[in-house]
Structure 1
Amino acid sequence: MTITEHEARVAPEPIDTESTADTVDDAAVDAFGERMFASILGAVETMAVHVGGRLGWYDALSGGAALAAPELAARTDTDARYAREWLEQQASVGILTVDDPAAPADERRYSLPAHAEPVLTDRRNLAYIAPLARMFAAASQAMPGILDAYRTGGGVSWQQFGADARESQAEGNRPWFDAMPAVLADVPHVHEALSRPDARIADVGMGLGWSSIALASAYPQLRVEGFDVDTASVVAAGENAREAGVADRVRFQATDAAELAEHGPFDAIFAFECIHDLPHPVEVLRAMRDAVRPGGSVVIMDEAVADAFAPNAGDLDRLMYGFSLFVCLPDGRSHGSSAATGTVMRPDTLRGYAREAGWSDVRVIVPEFGFWRFYELI
């Protein structure tokens, strides 16, 4: 048999493109194309929101200010031509309003509507979500490393994501941490532990320290020990505590939470939105069990994702998969032998980690708190 004959025998059947095309629903193609186009437009808006936040343009436009491009540039020490393009883009998508669209380009005056200020500029408001744009911008800067990790099974560490990721997470969480003590006050045994004279608690993975500061501010006798492996976060958290006037009762250290038992015992231990990031969560949960006093509480705040995976998920799961794809999973896998949990940590996943660490079970004590829920290990 000749090579040509062999090729003829093993060659795949030709694809009938006309027949395949006949089976495709043109309306479905158009609808899916429109969905993808809308997603791309959303990505453009996200990048533009990041620019406006980082350059101080939204802040300059807040409070009813109506500014033309040269004025905005002068107030923020930025370039007027870029400012003009951004202002036009923001008005074109309906974020900003413009007084006289027909005026010459550099004379048009733009304003930030009052309803947009809590979302884009009010850093203590629960509606403030502008930092989400900054987080995904940080991920885009790390994209070459993320792609390499996807090919090799490696990771991209929190340190590699840089200040944008660290600061955006802290800014986005801060309003919720400010509100958190009032929520925990409705959980009697947790409130009792925090109210105990000279109570001492641990805040695992405290980041820039806003969770520790919020608890110390709400409970004047409370002493808080914060633990984080990111040195830059520890330094910034210390400065935040000093500015908040609680540095005499709040202390931060760059320590692996797996060593928590060496620093105990604690009346209560908290881990706010970090267990899913940990490369070795079982070790940390075991250390928590060894570090808490008998009868003390161990409380985990993590993402309030659905109990189980399902196609066509809700918005919260969709957002958390975004964080997982581009931040949390690459960070988790930047450490050896990582559990690789990812942001979408289902309740049964946490329950499995807890039982492996020697706990009996996990119960939900606050089912919904913004993007999160509170669990207690028992």
Structure 2
Amino acid sequence: MSTAVEDERGGASEVDAFAEKVMAAALGWVDLMAIHLGSQMGWYDALAKAGPMDAEELAVATGTSRRYAQEWLEQQSAAGILEVDDPAGPRVRLAAGAAEVLTDRGSLSYLEPLARMFAASGAQMPRLVEAYRSGSGVSWEEFGDHARQSQADMNRPWFDALPEVIRSVDGLHALLSRPGARIADIGSGAGWSSLALAHAYPQAAVDGFDVDDASIEMSRENAAAAGLGGRVRFERADAADLAAHGPFDVIFAFECLHDMPHPVDVLAAARDAVAPGGAVVVMDEAAAETFSPDAGALERLLYGFSLFICLPDGLSHPGSAGTGTVMRHDTLREYAREAGWGDVEIIVPEFGLWRIYALT
């Protein structure tokens, strides 16, 4: 039998452990928001380009405040993101690996957009609190440019790598390689997935569809800059109306179905819009097969996206399915069968944060 003193010590130990957990979470938030500040000020880019700098040099190079730069440099050094080059100065440099993760926009390890995304969500916290209380939502438009652009920037390196993955999928590469093949990219966002497909399959025509006006404008600008404006078209359209634009040899839904308020309608429209012998492919988050309280880091990150961005966006539409980011295989299979499909096959088990499925 435990004594009262032992019970008190055990309780105190549990309290201390949980307090440390909360403290670690608070420090993680501080680091992430400091990353956002540093990125917005251009401080990481300046350090990556010029090497060790002190606060005065950094402020002059970026046209920012020396006093804020000084505080930020000290915080970043304490967090291990920067390393002190000259303690007497101090002059600091980016820690090993930090430049690629925070400034290399073409790297698969580029994670600075995470800070932007959660900063955009934090700016809407009063609206999120209201939505959680009432059951309403916060739309993608309300989250604003930081959310839109950070999603595009984080996904772009992976979309650039996507054609190499597609080539390994039996049948899919052959469909896309047909002369005159028509490709639909629903939920096309900034257009990077469409442009990657157009580069990889020069005999195909690609149509991107999205309901966000700002994303359509951004995607058209990106297509023009890439010299693909004649072969890649972007149109503001609801994916549930896809059949009116078909038929298509291949229809893709990259990292968007879980956001859609009416996924069954979209999958039914894809079934009507795909040409005979064509393919419908969904890439969505690689959620575990079932819920587990012992979830790993990826699952916890997906819940973060869902709590603060994807689920509120989905629920901002009347009659929403309210899927959220953690869309498991069984959920997608249920949606597909309701839409008239037979089953959902995993064709790429793991691709970054995602998994790739084919509807059959």
**What TM-score do the two structures reach when normalised by structure 1?**
0.92
- Give the 5 Å matches for 1:85-164: 85-103=71-89, 108-164=90-146
* Partner SS state of residue 148, structure 2: helix
The 2-side partners of 1:100 and 1:117 are apart by: 19
Alpha-carbon deviations, 1:140-164, whole Å to 9, x = none?
0011100000000000000000000
Which residue does the alignment assign to 1:341?
323
* Partner SS state of residue 321, structure 1: helix
Amino acid at match of 1:229: V
The Cα of 1:267 is off from its aligned counterpart by 0.4
Kept in 2, the 8 Å contact 1:64–1:112? The answer is: no
What residue ranges of structure 1 are gaps of 5+ in the alignment?
1-17
Q: Deviation above 2 Å: which 4+ runs of structure 1?
A: 21-26
Amino acid at match of 1:77: G
Kept in 2, the 8 Å contact 1:64–1:113? The answer is: no
The 2-side partners of 1:131 and 1:297 are apart by: 32
Which residue does the alignment assign to 2:12?
26
Alpha-carbon deviations, 1:227-261, whole Å to 9, x = none?
00000000000000111111111000110000000
Which residue does the alignment assign to 1:3?
none
Which residue does the alignment assign to 1:235?
217
Kindly indicate whether residue 229 of structure 2 is the aligned counterpart of residue 247 of structure 1. yes
Comparing 38-47 with 25-34, greater Cα deviation is found at 25-34
Amino acid at match of 1:218: A
Kindly indicate whether residue 152 of structure 2 is the aligned counterpart of residue 170 of structure 1. yes
* Partner SS state of residue 350, structure 2: strand
The Cα of 1:23 is off from its aligned counterpart by 9.1
**What TM-score do the two structures reach when normalised by structure 2?**
0.97
Which residue does the alignment assign to 2:62?
76
The 1-side partners of 2:25 and 2:9 are apart by: 26
- Give the 5 Å matches for 1:296-311: 296-311=278-293
For the aligned residue pairs, the C-alpha RMSD in angstroms reads 1.5
Total equivalences in the alignment: 357
* Partner SS state of residue 186, structure 1: coil
Comparing 263-272 with 51-60, greater Cα deviation is found at 51-60
The 2-side partners of 1:24 and 1:116 are apart by: 40
Comparing 24-33 with 84-93, greater Cα deviation is found at 24-33
The 1-side partners of 2:74 and 2:227 are apart by: 43
The 2-side partners of 1:183 and 1:45 are apart by: 34
Residue 23 of structure 2, aligned match among 37, 48, 69: 37
Kindly indicate whether residue 183 of structure 2 is the aligned counterpart of residue 218 of structure 1. no
The 2-side partners of 1:322 and 1:71 are apart by: 37
Kept in 1, the 8 Å contact 2:80–2:95? The answer is: no
Kindly indicate whether residue 346 of structure 2 is the aligned counterpart of residue 360 of structure 1. no
The 2-side partners of 1:168 and 1:276 are apart by: 18
The Cα of 1:110 is off from its aligned counterpart by 1.4
The 2-side partners of 1:137 and 1:61 are apart by: 22
- Give the 5 Å matches for 1:275-286: 275-286=257-268
Comparing 94-103 with 132-141, greater Cα deviation is found at 94-103
Kindly indicate whether residue 43 of structure 2 is the aligned counterpart of residue 61 of structure 1. no
Amino acid at match of 2:242: L
The 2-side partners of 1:98 and 1:373 are apart by: 41
Which residue does the alignment assign to 2:333?
351
Amino acid at match of 2:146: D
The 1-side partners of 2:356 and 2:99 are apart by: 29
* Partner SS state of residue 282, structure 2: strand
Give the share of equivalent positions with the same residue, in percent.
Answer: 61
* Partner SS state of residue 296, structure 1: strand
The Cα of 1:39 is off from its aligned counterpart by 1.0
The 2-side partners of 1:358 and 1:52 are apart by: 49
The 1-side partners of 2:113 and 2:32 are apart by: 10
Kept in 2, the 8 Å contact 1:46–1:133? The answer is: yes
Comparing 63-72 with 335-344, greater Cα deviation is found at 63-72
* Partner SS state of residue 155, structure 1: coil
The Cα of 1:219 is off from its aligned counterpart by 1.0
